[in-house]
Amino acid sequence: MMTLELHWLMLTLHIALGFGGFVLGALALALPKFGLNSHWHRRIGRLYAGCMLGMAVLSVPLALAQHDYMLLSIGLLTLGWVAGGWVALRMALGRKHRNRHTFANLLRAHIMLMGSSYIAAWTAFLVNVQPLGSGALLFWVYVLGPSVIGSAFISRATARVGAPA
């Protein structure tokens, strides 16, 4: 059983990290990925990954304390997607000059996994906050809206990497 003070501390940190993740994720998406200014994407991306990892780790005890298994699953998926996206990028950079096809496939995996973590964060936020109100139809808008919009952006970004090998 979690004390009320610990719950509020964890919730406050979770919200702060989530807000940071939303802002940093938008910046990472907007910044150039290659070229002279790509160092900003890498720096912001590292901060984004840190915020998302912290937010996802904190979501587990918070969701368990509230018996909210949907948010628990979103938190665990986010944790896996961010970690997987980070690993895919590290592997891609290690193979960049050895094999172009492997590099491209790992870069696509990075884009899909990090993009999925951003979609999951928006989904959890919308389901919790319900900015347009509540109801069955709005629930599905909150659940599916980020996936539909985010998937379109992910498809566009992965297509720009090149044809899969």
pLDDT tens column, 89-144: 999 888 766 788 888 899 999 999 999 999 999 998 999 899 999 999 999 999 99
pLDDT at 38 (0 to 100): 85
Helices (H), the chain: 4-30, 38-66, 69-95, 100-129, 136-161
Enumerate the domain spans of the chain.
4-161
pLDDT at 164 (0 to 100): 55
pLDDT tens column, 2-28: 799 999 999 999 999 999 999 999 999
DSSP secondary structure code for residue 33 in this structure? S
The DSSP H or E segment spanning 131 is none
pLDDT at 99 (0 to 100): 80
pLDDT at 40 (0 to 100): 92
* Averaged pLDDT, 59-71: 92
Q: b vs e for 25-41, b when ≥16 Cβ sit within 10 Å of the residue's Cβ? A: bebbbebebeeeeeeeb
Q: How far apart are the first and last CA of the chain?
A: 50
* Averaged pLDDT, 67-85: 93
pLDDT at 37 (0 to 100): 79
Output the CA–CA distances (angstroms, integers) from residue 117 to 17, 65, 98, 139, 150, in the order listed: 14, 23, 29, 19, 10
**Mean pLDDT lowest among 1-5, 23-27, 77-81, 145-149:** 1-5
- pLDDT of residue 32 exceeding 90: no
- pLDDT of residue 165 exceeding 60: no
